[in-house]
Amino acid sequence: MLVVHKYGGTSVGDVERIENVTNRVAKAREEGNDVVVVVSAMSGETNKLIGFAEHFTKEPAKKEMDMLLSSGERVTAALLSISLQARGYDAVALTGRQAGIVTDDTHTYARIESIDPSAVKNAIGEGKIVIVAGFQGINKSGSVTTLGRGGSDLSAVALAAAIGADQCEIYSDVDGIYTTDPRIEPNARKLDTISYDEMLELSSLGAKVLQNRSVELAKKLNVKLYAKSSFSDDVGTLIAEESSMEAVLVSGIVLDKNQARVTLRGVADRPGIAADIFSKLAESNINVDMIIQNMGTDGSTNLGFTVPQSEHENAKKVMESFDHEFEGMDFDEHVCKVSVVGVGMKSHSGVAAAAFTAMAKNNINIQMISTSEIKVSMVIDEKYGELAIRTLHDVYELDK
């Protein structure tokens, strides 16, 4: 088989753990596989580099950030290759550029446009184990770009598709996809399989076990994806077209702590106001998540939305340019979003009501609500996030 392994930050967090990965890759090789390995930066490394840059300015140039952040993954790729070579294996470490990954120009959040797999394929043909630095590519003018946080997952899926790998195995510190984050709810249950659509929903709502763009691409290009642990031999979870969970009402609960809420009071109730505000936010590359607006009364209305915490200050600045259009604004960084996901909701009623009842019983105030066919999301005070997750997990009996 031709397999792609991807090892995340905790799996390569120090030299002993890189040694552990070396053993796993060597084993896959000994079993007769061709192996391409995508690696993340050592755990904490990307945040450390961001911290260094922010020592000088809160808004470092994104092009420079890519130059900086891409270094983390190169370190691990080189170390893993050195470690494999020391054990007598023929290995080669490649940067994103050397692996042929070409992206658009959106520095720090680039999209992969194409992959020229020839270098990777040639190295495999020569019998080498190929190690690729994740999270990075180059744009057409030759500058290094990065793919957004968690982007090594995307590198792995995209490479797996480009080289026609039989499967792509994403290794982290959990042995699969659970009904909710097992660090928050010890009774969370591991799923044998989950559909691309449900996984995409969980990832998009903030379950960071797989980056959402990687799941999207795996679905589009039909990449057979596994979530596994680098610390056990568990078979993990298969993410595939259909899941055995189809009949289940609720498949998972997600906590997203990376949320900040903005509320505008007494907003001028005129056609075009929402267009103006959200166009301006979009121009500033601020990703708006939940949006809530009431029916206007007496010529004014209230408008609320959430943004990632890192965009909180930027959103504040943008809103200040509209201050003649509303009476007051209120920012809250200490909120989180809890979501209930399940395709079964399409054909069942009462799922949302059960969630609201559960919040009420715990005296948790719901600040914002948004729903779709297959999810219910609520914004609540950050300090109740984990309690809400455990409560909801219990209400829908996900441990059974």
- Nearest CA among 102, 103, 163 for reference residue 130: 163
For residue 56, the minimal CB distance to ligand ADP (Å) is 27
Q: Which of 41, 215, 303, 392 binds ligand ASP (CB under 6 A)?
A: 41
Q: Which does 203 bind (CB under 5 to 8 A by kind): ligand ADP, Mg ion, ligand ASP, none?
A: none
Residue 194 backbone phi and psi in degrees, to 5 = -145, 145
Give the whole-angstrom CA distance, residue 351 versus residue 378.
13
Question: Contact 307/315 with Cβ under 8 angstroms?
Answer: yes
Give the whole-angstrom CA distance, residue 83 versus residue 6.
16
Q: Which does 46 bind (CB under 5 to 8 A by kind): ligand ASP, ligand ADP, Mg ion, none?
A: ligand ASP
Give the whole-angstrom CA distance, residue 180 versus residue 188.
6
Where does this chain touch ligand ADP (CB under 6 A) — which range of 7-15, 193-201, 281-289, 375-383? Answer: 7-15
Tokens of 120: 């990777």
- Binding of ligand ASP by 96 (CB under 6 A): no
The amino acid at 368: M
Q: Which of 27, 48, 87, 183 binds ligand ADP (CB under 6 A)?
A: 183
Judged on CB neighbours under 10 Å (0-12, 13-18, 19+), 104 is: middle
Site string for ligand ADP, 243-282 (x = CB under 6 A): ---------x------------------------------
Q: Which of 3, 7, 9, 256 binds ligand ASP (CB under 6 A)?
A: 9
Looking only at Cα atoms, what is the longest distance across the chain? 77
- Binding of ligand ADP by 41 (CB under 6 A): no
- Binding of ligand ASP by 132 (CB under 6 A): no
Q: Which does 137 bind (CB under 5 to 8 A by kind): ligand ADP, ligand ASP, Mg ion, none?
A: none
Q: Which does 149 bind (CB under 5 to 8 A by kind): ligand ASP, ligand ADP, Mg ion, none?
A: ligand ASP
For residue 10, the minimal CB distance to ligand ADP (Å) is 5
Where helices occur in 192-311 by DSSP H, the ranges are: 196-204, 212-221, 273-283
Q: Which of 63, 111, 189, 208 binds ligand ADP (CB under 6 A)?
A: 208
Number of residues that bind ligand ADP (CB under 6 A): 20
For residue 52, the minimal CB distance to ligand ASP (Å) is 14
Give the whole-angstrom CA distance, residue 145 versus residue 110.
6
Tokens of 89: 């294996």
For residue 202, the minimal CB distance to ligand ADP (Å) is 6
Q: Which of 3, 28, 36, 72 binds ligand ASP (CB under 6 A)?
A: 72
- Binding of ligand ADP by 173 (CB under 6 A): yes
Where does this chain touch ligand ASP (CB under 6 A) — which range of 145-153, 168-176, 288-296, 375-383? Answer: 145-153
CA 233 from chain centre, in angstroms, equals 24
- Coil/strand/helix, residue 216: helix
Chain residue whose CB lies nearest ligand ADP:
8
Tokens of 235: 């078979």
- Binding of ligand ASP by 149 (CB under 6 A): yes
Give the whole-angstrom CA distance, residue 58 versus residue 321.
20
Rank residues 173 and 381 by Cβ distance to ligand ADP and give the closer one: 173
Angle at 358 between CA 354 and CA 361, to 5 degrees: 135
List Cβ neighbours of 245 (8 Å cut-off, separation of 6 or more): 191, 193, 194, 195, 198, 251, 343
Tokens of 132: 């690729």
Q: Which residues in the 107-166 window bind Mg ion by CB under 5 A?
A: 150
List Cβ neighbours of 153 (8 Å cut-off, separation of 6 or more): 6, 8, 134, 170, 210, 211, 213, 214
- Binding of ligand ADP by 386 (CB under 6 A): no
Torsion of CA 120, 123, 128, 130, to 10 degrees: -20
Residues that bind ligand ASP (CB under 6 A): 8-9, 40-41, 46, 72, 134-135, 149-153
Residues binding ligand ADP (CB under 6 A):
8-11, 40, 150, 172-174, 177-178, 180-183, 202, 207-209, 252
Residues within the interface to Mg ion (CB under 5 A): 8, 150
